Amino acid sequence: MRLKLHDHSHACDCAAHRAPKATAPNASMWSAILPVLACAVCPACLTTYAKLFSVLGVGFGLSEFHHLVLLVVAISASIGVSAWRSWRTRRVWPIAIALAGSALVATGHFGGDLHAVEWAGVLLLLVGGLTEHFRLRRQQASLVPSAA
């Protein structure tokens, strides 16, 4: 008996072989979390955290060098994840938003008292990451066949 292969290259026609494979990309989670990391190492936020933790009896200190390293790591990770997402989806806007937001964060941080510019960069990174995250969720939801 010869089995007929369907369009999806399987002989059976069960729902597992019929439905497109919708894998949950890990980058969508990271693209939403990493911009928050840039905020977590900003000087204004660290000062606020230090005051809050000191009220709770927990003290910590962070030198300027460690702060700079954490900021560079957070910005690099955000750009890296966005570059990977842009390469994978063949769209330019994730990396463009990450580069623009990172440039604003760096300009605000190293330009002196430009806290509004730094916060605008963090907000741009966060909005870009969340937009990509929710776009991927909508795309995955459209791939799941409805139970009819």
The better pLDDT of the pair 15, 132 is held by: 132
Handedness of CA 136, 106, 104, 38 (dihedral sign): positive
Give the contacts of 54 (CB within 8 A, at least 6 positions apart).
Answer: none
pTM greater than 0.75 (yes/no): no
Compute the distance between CA of residue 2 and CA of residue 19 in angstroms, rounded to an integer.
24
Q: Do residues 31 and 81 lie in contact, with contact meaning Cβ atoms separated by under 8 Å? A: yes
State mean pLDDT over 76-84.
88
Tens of pLDDT, residues 99-130: 999 999 889 888 887 889 988 998 898 888 88
Longest dimension (CA), the chain: 78
Domain boundaries, the chain: 30-142
Tens of pLDDT, residues 4-55: 555 555 555 565 555 555 555 565 676 667 666 666 666 666 666 666 766 7
pLDDT of residue 33: 72
Nearest to 93 by CA among 105, 82, 104: 82
